[in-house]
C-alpha cells in the first residue's frame, strides 16, 4: 500500500511538472514573439547574434531558451550557466518585468521623439521664413513702391527754392560787410581772439547784424595766432524761443537726453539687451566752437539754469535707472558717457533785444556784454548800396536816402530793396539789367504801410514854453515835445495839470519843477494855473523828463524863449541838481535822428557818451543853473 501511494504521488508530481514546463514554453514563445514584433525579426536575430544568444534562442531546450531571453533583454554577452527548472519561474518573472520596462520606455521615447520632431520642424520652418525675409531685405533693400514715391516727392520739394538763395547772397560773409557796428565788432573779436575766450551776451535792436556778426567773428578769429578755435570749430545756431524740452529729461535737444530701451527708442541692438543710450545735444555738437542762442532772453528759466551748470562743468552728465555699470552688454562708449559725461566745452554767445535788466542775473554774471547800436541813416544807406551790388542791380541816387528815412534795421532795408527788385522784374520779366527808381521804392513803402521812422520835431528859431525832452524804449531813443503854459490864478488856489497817461513818476517831476521854480524865481506856482503837456501823449517811464519840464515851465512863466534845436534829459532834484539817467546813448541817438544839434545830459552820464559820436554836440551839466545858461544864455 505504501509503495502504491509513493508511486501515485510521484506520478502526480511528474504530471504537474510537465504542465508547468508546457506553460513556461508558451510564456517563452510569447516573449520571443513580443520581442520580434518590438525589435523586428531581423533586428532581433542580429541582436541575438551579437550577444551570443542566437543558438540559445533557436534551441529546443526550455532552459537554454530562457537563458537566451535573459541575454537579449539584459543585452549581456557574458556566458551564464543553464538555469535549472526551479530557477526558470523566477527568471521568467524577471524577464517579463524587464521586457515591460523596455517597451514602456521605448513608447515614451517615441512619443517624446515625435513631439521633439514636430517642434524642430516648426522651428525649422520659422528659421527658414526668417532666412527668406532676410534674403529678401538684403536683395530688395528697405525701399518699396510707397517709400520710393515719398522719396521722389521729397526730391521735388528740395528743388523748389524761393527766398533761400537771396538770403544766402545778402548774408554778410566778412567783418567788412557788417556796417554801423564797428565798436561792437571790435569788442566781440577781442573777446574771442584770446587764449581765454569769454561767454558773451549781445544786446541791441533787431536787424542790426548781431547774428551775422557772431558768425563771421568766429571765421575771422580762426586764423588769429592767439585764438583757441581750430579751423573746424563749429558754429551751432539755435533760437531760444523755439527750444522745447521735457522736465523729466525724456527729450532735451539742447543738453541731450537718455533714450531708455523701452519707451524712447534706443537702438534695436541696445533695446534687445535692455541698455539705455545717451543722445548728445547741441551743447556737445558745439564742443570746441560756438553755441549761438538767438533771443536768449526768451529761454525757459529752468532750462537756462541747466545750461549755466553746463557752462561751469564744461560737460553734460547723464543718469538713467536702466544703466547697470556691471552689465557686460553695455558698449564702452555708453559707459564712458555715463561715467565721465559728454564734452561740452564751447563759447556761448547769446543775442537778445530785451533790456539788460530783464535777463537772468546769473547768466549776465557769467558773460561779458557787447552792445549793438541802432543804425544811423548813413549806415542804412551803405547797406542799401552794398545789397544792390550783391543783387547786381542799379539804383537811383535817391533810393538809399529814401529807405533810410523809413527803417533803422538792415534786414528791413534789404527787404524793401528786394521787394522793389521783385516789382521791377514782375513788370518787365525780360529785363536783363534792372534799375530801381525812387518811384519803385515809394510804391513798396506805400503797399507796406510804412511811415518815416523819425519825425523831425526840431524847429528853427525860438519858442516860449516848448522844449524837447528825450525818452528811450528798448534800444531806441525818441524825442518828446514837452510844452507848458501858465496863467495867473487865484492866490494859493492855482491848478497844475499834466497828462494822465504820462505816469506817476513824470507827475512827480512836475512837483519837483514847481519847487525849483520857486527857488529860482521866488514865484509860487500855487498862484498860477499851470498846464504841462506831452504832445502825442505816451507814458514817460522814469524821472528823466524832470529837467525838460522845469525848463518848459520856467520859459512860460518868465516869457523866455527856448532855442528849438536843443534837447535835454536828466532828473531834477529839489536841490537843483541834475541827476544821472539811463539810456544815454540811445537818447543821444534819438535826438540826433530828430535833428537836434545840441543835447544836455547829466554830468555823471558824460562817460556814457560814445567817443565815435559825430553830428551832435553833447553838453554835460551838473545843476539847473548850468542848464539855464545854455538854454537862455543866462
Q: If you count DSSP H runs as helices and E runs as strands, how many of each does the chain have, helices first?
A: 22, 22
Q: Identify the active-site residue in 257, 320, 544, 555.
A: 544
Task: Name the strand (E) or helix (H) holding 300.
Answer: none
For 281-346, strand residue ranges (E) read 290-294, 315-316, 342-343
Distance, CA of 583 to CA of 522 (rounded, Å): 34
Which 3 state secondary structure label does DSSP give 622?
Answer: coil
Q: Identify the active-site residue in 47, 382, 587, 592.
A: 587
Task: Give the residue from 449, 391, 451 showing the smallest Cα distance to 422.
Answer: 391
- Give the bridge partners for 279, in sequence order: 257
DSSP annotation of 355: -
Distance, CA of 600 to CA of 569 (rounded, Å): 6
Q: Cβ atoms within 10 A of the Cβ of 34, count?
A: 14
Q: What Å distances lie between residue 133 and 128, 130, 137, 206, CA to CA?
A: 9, 5, 6, 57
Q: 214 is written with which cell numbers?
A: 557772431
Alpha-carbon torsion (161, 165, 168, 170), positive or negative:
negative
CB 326 within 8 A of CB 297: no
Decide if 55 is catalytic. Answer: no
CB 463 within 8 A of CB 563: no
The alpha helices in 367-482, defined as continuous H runs, are 377-391, 399-406, 410-427, 438-447
Strands 315-316 and 342-343: antiparallel
Order the strands of the 367-371 sheet from edge to edge.
Answer: 235-239, 290-294, 347-352, 199-203, 367-371
- Give the bridge partners for 351, in sequence order: 202, 294
The values of phi and psi at residue 48, to 5°, are -65, -35
- Give the bridge partners for 486, in sequence order: 530
Task: Give the residue from 556, 546, 552, 555 showing the smallest Cα distance to 488.
Answer: 556
Strands 476-488 and 256-259: unpaired
Task: Name the strand (E) or helix (H) holding 368.
Answer: strand 367-371
Distance, CA of 113 to CA of 105 (rounded, Å): 12
Dihedral angle over CA of 131, 132, 137, 139, nearest 10: 110
Residue position matching grid coordinates 510537465: 18
Distance, CA of 370 to CA of 113 (rounded, Å): 84
Task: Name the strand (E) or helix (H) holding 487.
Answer: strand 476-488
Residue position matching grid coordinates 524577464: 95
Q: 41 is written with which cell numbers?
A: 525579426
Decide if 544 is catalytic. Answer: yes
Q: What Å distances lie between residue 4 and 1, 7, 8, 13, CA to CA?
A: 5, 5, 6, 14
Which 3 state secondary structure label does DSSP give 239?
Answer: strand
Active site (catalytic) residues: 544, 587
Amino acid at each position: 500500500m505504501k509503495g502504491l501511494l509513493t508511486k501515485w504521488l510521484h506520478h502526480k508530481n511528474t504530471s504537474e511538472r510537465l504542465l508547468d514546463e508546457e506553460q513556461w514554453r508558451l510564456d517563452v514563445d510569447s516573449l520571443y514573439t513580443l520581442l520580434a514584433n518590438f525589435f523586428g525579426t531581423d533586428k532581433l536575430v542580429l541582436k541575438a547574434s551579437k550577444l551570443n544568444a542566437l543558438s540559445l534562442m533557436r534551441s529546443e531546450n526550455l532552459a537554454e531558451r530562457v537563458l537566451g531571453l535573459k541575454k537579449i533583454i539584459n543585452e549581456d554577452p557574458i556566458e551564464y550557466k543553464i538555469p535549472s527548472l526551479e530557477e526558470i519561474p523566477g527568471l521568467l518573472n524577471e524577464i517579463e518585468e524587464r521586457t515591460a520596462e523596455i517597451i514602456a520606455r521605448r513608447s515614451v521615447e517615441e512619443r517624446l521623439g515625435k513631439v521633439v520632431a514636430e517642434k524642430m520642424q516648426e522651428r525649422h520652418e520659422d528659421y527658414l521664413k526668417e532666412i527668406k525675409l532676410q534674403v529678401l531685405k538684403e536683395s530688395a533693400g528697405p525701399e518699396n513702391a510707397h517709400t520710393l514715391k515719398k522719396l521722389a516727392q521729397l526730391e521735388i520739394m528740395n528743388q523748389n527754392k524761393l527766398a533761400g538763395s537771396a538770403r544766402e547772397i545778402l548774408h554778410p560773409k566778412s567783418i567788412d560787410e557788417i556796417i554801423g557796428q564797428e565798436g561792437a565788432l571790435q569788442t566781440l573779436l577781442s573777446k574771442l581772439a584770446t587764449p581765454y575766450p569769454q561767454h558773451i551776451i549781445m544786446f541791441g535792436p533787431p536787424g542790426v547784424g548781431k547774428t551775422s556778426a557772431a558768425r563771421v567773428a568766429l571765421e575771422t578769429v580762426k586764423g588769429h595766432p592767439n585764438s583757441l578755435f581750430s579751423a573746424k570749430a563749429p558754429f551751432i545756431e539755435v533760437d531760444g524761443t523755439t527750444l522745447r524740452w521735457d522736465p523729466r529729461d525724456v527729450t532735451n535737444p539742447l543738453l541731450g537726453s537718455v533714450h531708455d530701451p523701452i519707451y524712447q527708442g534706443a537702438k534695436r541692438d541696445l533695446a534687445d539687451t535692455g541698455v539705455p543710450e545717451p543722445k548728445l545735444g547741441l551743447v556737445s555738437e558745439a564742443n570746441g566752437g560756438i553755441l549761438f542762442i538767438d533771443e536768449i532772453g526768451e529761454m525757459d528759466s529752468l532750462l537756462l539754469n541747466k545750461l549755466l551748470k553746463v557752462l561751469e562743468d564744461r560737460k553734460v552728465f547723464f543718469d538713467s535707472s536702466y544703466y547697470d555699470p556691471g552689465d557686460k552688454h553695455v558698449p564702452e562708449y555708453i559707459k564712458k558717457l555715463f561715467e565721465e559725461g559728454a564734452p561740452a566745452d564751447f563759447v556761448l554767445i547769446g543775442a537778445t533785444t530785451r533790456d539788460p535788466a530783464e535777463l537772468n542775473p546769473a547768466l549776465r554774471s557769467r558773460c561779458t556784454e557787447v552792445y549793438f547800436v541802432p543804425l544811423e541813416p548813413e549806415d542804412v544807406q551803405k547797406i542799401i548800396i552794398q545789397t544792390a551790388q550783391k543783387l547786381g542791380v542799379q539804383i537811383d541816387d535817391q533810393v538809399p536816402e529814401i529807405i533810410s528815412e523809413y527803417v533803422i534795421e538792415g534786414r528791413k532795408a534789404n527787404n524793401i530793396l528786394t521787394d522793389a527788385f521783385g516789382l521791377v522784374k514782375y513788370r518787365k520779366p525780360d529785363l536783363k539789367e534792372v534799375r530801381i527808381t525812387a518811384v519803385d521804392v515809394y510804391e513798396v513803402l506805400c503797399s507796406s504801410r510804412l511811415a518815416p521812422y523819425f519825425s523831425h520835431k526840431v524847429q528853427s528859431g525860438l519858442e516860449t514854453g516848448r522844449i524837447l525832452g528825450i525818452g528811450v524804449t528798448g534800444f531806441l531813443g525818441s524825442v518828446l515835445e514837452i510844452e507848458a503854459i501858465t496863467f495867473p490864478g487865484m492866490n494859493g488856489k492855482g491848478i497844475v495839470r499834466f497828462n494822465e497817461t504820462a505816469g506817476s513818476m513824470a507827475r512827480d517831476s512836475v512837483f519837483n519843477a514847481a519847487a525849483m521854480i520857486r527857488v529860482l524865481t521866488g514865484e509860487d506856482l500855487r498862484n498860477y494855473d499851470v498846464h504841462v503837456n506831452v504832445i502825442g501823449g505816451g507814458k514817460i517811464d522814469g524821472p528823466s523828463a524832470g529837467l525838460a519840464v522845469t525848463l518848459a515851465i520856467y520859459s512860460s512863466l518868465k516869457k523866455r524863449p527856448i532855442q528849438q534845436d536843443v534837447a535835454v534829459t536828466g532828473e531834477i532834484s529839489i536841490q537843483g541838481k541834475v541827476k544821472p539817467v539811463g539810456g544815454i546813448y540811445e537818447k543821444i541817438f534819438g535826438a540826433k535822428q530828430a535833428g537836434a544839434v545840441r543835447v544836455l545830459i547829466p554830468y555823471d552820464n558824460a562817460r556814457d557818451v560814445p567817443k565815435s559820436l559825430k553830428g551832435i554836440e553833447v553838453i554835460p551839466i551838473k545843476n539847473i543853473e548850468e542848464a539855464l545858461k545854455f538854454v537862455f544864455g543866462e
